[in-house]
A and B are shown apart, each in its own frame.
Chain A
Amino acid sequence: MTIDPITAPRRWSLPKFDLTTLRQHGGLAALVILLVFNLLVTPNFFELQTLFVNISQVATIAIVAIGMTLVIATGGIDLSVGAVMALSGALAPLIFLSPFGVANPELGLVAAFTLPILAAAAAGLFNGVMVTFLGVQPIVATLILFISGRGIALVLTNGNLQTFTNPAFSFLGTGRILGMPFQGWVALALAILVSWMVRRTVYGRHLLAVGGNEKAARLAGAPVHLVKIATYVMCSAMAGLAGMIVTAINSASDAARNGLLMELDAIAAAVVGGALLMGGRAPIVGAVLGAIVIQLVKFTLLANGVEDEVALIAKAAIIIGAVYLQQTRSE
């Protein structure tokens, strides 16, 4: 497979929104349709309040979808993101509620922000090593943590809901800057940072090369294993961050529910955003668009009194439709 010129490293420029972009991003078309529909039909849609509610919901999906897009760009997949969310989401309160955390509130808070992310990154390291050095297929390699990751989180919390009152930590999920939910800013910052990485850094070049044609990339001297491991580590770290945000939103950690089925949402968002499952493309802006589409579908149906169950069927149709469009495009 050749590297797609659309996403190949190039000079940094704002994404152009013309007809070609529309064809490239089925997700964008879906987004426009959803927005128009909502403006016409949904009551109170065109309000700041609605926007912020949706942003606070979409941020976690977007953050995980960005990481997932990177993994998919290598030709892999990460099923463990939901479990990693549960793990880091459970760890954070354990740390600042521990005797050490209570005795040293500041240090405890710093540890509560950093250690769960490091634990998540370690999970990514595990995934990456399995995929590269042991040559295990990504689905199987990440299946291990998918199964046991949530189990570890449940064992750590003994299956209990941990509630807490910690304004500093809760800021992650409930804080606002300039009116916009804090996690919205985090997602935006990550999207910009990772887009820049993909387009402008050596890592980005290697990433797309590895996903496009691994053998050729290796012969060309790209550090294939290192690139893949770094990608899985980043994906897991972002999932860990998302897990902490969910815990902060609820002011409670629920290891049984945090991040449940998130891997599906993230994969769907990445695919709707234009990621190719064979790898070689990393449309980060697309992933964010995909996350917004998925969230908007949920919201549209919910706001118009359609049951949650039907939303699942709609989501299924969107996923199939998006990939089908991709297939016809690549032929």
Chain B
Amino acid sequence: MLADSKTFDLRELLRSGGGTAQTRGVWIALILLIAFGLFRYDNFGSQYNVLSFLNFNSMFVLISIGMCFVIMTGGIDLSVGSVAAFTSVVAALLSSHGLIVAVPGGVLAGMAIGALNAFVILRMRVPPFITTLATMLAAKGGSLVLSGAETIGVDWTTNFTRLGMGSAFGTIPWTILIALAVVIVAWIILERTSLGRIVLAIGGGDEASKLMGLRTERAIVFVYVFSGLCAGLAGVILASAFGAGQPLEGVGWELTAIASVVVGGTLLTGGVGSIPATVAGALLLGLIFNILNFENGRGTISLSAYWQSVIRGNFLLIVIVLQAGLLTQRKARSQDG
């Protein structure tokens, strides 16, 4: 059914840059949730809570950004969680050489897996879903082999842990600034470069973009390598912030990332997408957990952490139902016209 709307629509493409009805929903939800938190809990707006919330969620923002690019081409990257675990192990093993080696090492490992994804998808013509499912397993196996199935403590004598635990100017954690930098770069690439337009065009219609003479293969390589880069960076932050390379971490991260992208109004069929809305989606999902903690802190109710996933699932449900409503409306309109 959704395949019907897969035709390339330039007007739609131009309009999507400025925020559509789909992306507006996530902002409204985010603002309402923040207002609710500020109104209800005393320390919700405190510097400590805001910074630690953003600090923890910077990893999820990063992988969601990478995922957003992949999904805009109509693909999917299930390997991000395993890649993050893998690169956290790589970075931890390299941590004795300091940040100067460990960060590029971890990020390059992530990009290498991204490049492998792109190769299998383009040259072996295996669908993205299956390709990244396989690299997800392979990266998990790789990180377990590399680490001997144990967490790898980082070297505390070097400056490696400063990345995840230190703060710029003594206030803002580096992780937040890194995530912010990646968000801005990704936003510029999507909105202001031809590469970004090609990414959206592929999602709008792969064949049509090829016939238009767009260099689609390069763009597809870019999105998977970029997703690997983001996951690699998240893995390095994981190792640095928690002081250990964790081969068992990252389970379900890919679905959190997909959920963030979907909540942010990006269609899984590709062709439409927004970086800021994806960030908002990631923060929204994180905020649910944050508010749950505050609610438990008040002592009036006691919801176990297990409720978190139930509530997240329901949020996803609401957003998807709203999106589905919008889609059918638009389809009805386009059929009238």
Query: Is B308 an interface residue, CB under 8 A from the partner?
Result: yes
Query: Is B51 an interface residue, CB under 8 A from the partner?
Result: no
Asked whether A148 lies within 8 Å of B310 as measured between CB atoms, the reply is: yes
Query: Is B255 an interface residue, CB under 8 A from the partner?
Result: yes
Query: Is A134 an interface residue, CB under 8 A from the partner?
Result: yes
Asked whether A317 lies within 8 Å of B134 as measured between CB atoms, the reply is: yes
How many B residues, CB 8 Å from partner? 45
- Contacts of B259 on A, CB cut-off 8 Å? 143, 147
Asked whether A313 lies within 8 Å of B138 as measured between CB atoms, the reply is: yes
Asked whether B137 lies within 8 Å of A323 as measured between CB atoms, the reply is: no
Interface residues of A: mostly helix, strand, loop or mixed? helix
- From residue A159, how far is it (CB to closest CB) to chain B in Å? 6
Query: Is A311 an interface residue, CB under 8 A from the partner?
Result: yes
- Contacts of B262 on A, CB cut-off 8 Å? 140, 143
Q: Which residues of B125-151 have CB atoms within 8 Å of chain A's CB atoms?
A: 125-127, 129-131, 133-138, 140-142, 144-145, 149
- What per-residue 1/0 map shows which CB atoms of B291-322 lie under 8 Å from chain A? 00000000000001011111011101100110
> Which of A154, A159, A311 has most B Cβ within 10 Å?
A154
Asked whether B308 lies within 8 Å of A151 as measured between CB atoms, the reply is: yes
A271 to B127, CA, bound (A): 12
Asked whether B145 lies within 8 Å of A307 as measured between CB atoms, the reply is: yes
- From residue A263, how far is it (CB to closest CB) to chain B in Å? 10
Query: Is B20 an interface residue, CB under 8 A from the partner?
Result: no
Residue of chain A at shortest CB distance from B82: A312
A315 to B137, CA, bound (A): 7
Query: Is A165 an interface residue, CB under 8 A from the partner?
Result: no
A267 to B259, CA, bound (A): 20
A319 to B136, CA, bound (A): 12
Query: Is A15 an interface residue, CB under 8 A from the partner?
Result: no
- From residue A283, how far is it (CB to closest CB) to chain B in Å? 16
If the complex has contacts A139-B268, A155-B306, are A319 and B324 also in contact, measured as CB distance less than 8 A? no
Asked whether A140 lies within 8 Å of B309 as measured between CB atoms, the reply is: no
- From residue B128, how far is it (CB to closest CB) to chain A in Å? 10
- Contacts of A179 on B, CB cut-off 8 Å? none
Query: Is A146 an interface residue, CB under 8 A from the partner?
Result: yes
Query: Is A152 an interface residue, CB under 8 A from the partner?
Result: yes
Asked whether A320 lies within 8 Å of B120 as measured between CB atoms, the reply is: yes
Asked whether A139 lies within 8 Å of B141 as measured between CB atoms, the reply is: no
A148 to B310, CA, bound (A): 4
Q: Which residues of A69-102 have CB atoms within 8 Å of chain B's CB atoms?
A: 77, 79
Asked whether A148 lies within 8 Å of B145 as measured between CB atoms, the reply is: no
- What per-residue 1/0 map shows which CB atoms of A8-31 lie under 8 Å from chain B? 000000000000000000000000
Q: Which of A139, A151, A271, A327 contacts B125 (CB 8 A)?
A: A327
Query: Is A310 an interface residue, CB under 8 A from the partner?
Result: yes
Query: Is A43 an interface residue, CB under 8 A from the partner?
Result: no
- From residue B284, how far is it (CB to closest CB) to chain A in Å? 14
Query: Is A158 an interface residue, CB under 8 A from the partner?
Result: yes
Asked whether A148 lies within 8 Å of B312 as measured between CB atoms, the reply is: yes
**What are 23 inter-chain pairs, A to B, with CB distance below 8 A?**
A134-B321, A134-B324, A135-B328, A136-B320, A139-B258, A140-B262, A141-B320, A143-B262, A147-B259, A147-B313, A151-B308, A151-B310, A264-B133, A264-B137, A307-B145, A307-B149, A309-B140, A312-B141, A316-B135, A316-B137, A320-B124, A320-B130, A324-B124
Q: Apart from A139-B268, A309-B149, what are 8 other A-B pairs with CB-CB below 8 Å?
A: A135-B328, A150-B309, A152-B310, A154-B304, A267-B133, A312-B138, A319-B137, A324-B124
Which residues from chain B sit less than 8 Å from chain A, CB to CB? 1-2, 76, 120, 124-127, 129-131, 133-138, 140-142, 144-145, 149, 255, 258-259, 262, 268-269, 304, 306-310, 312-314, 316-317, 320-321, 324, 327-328
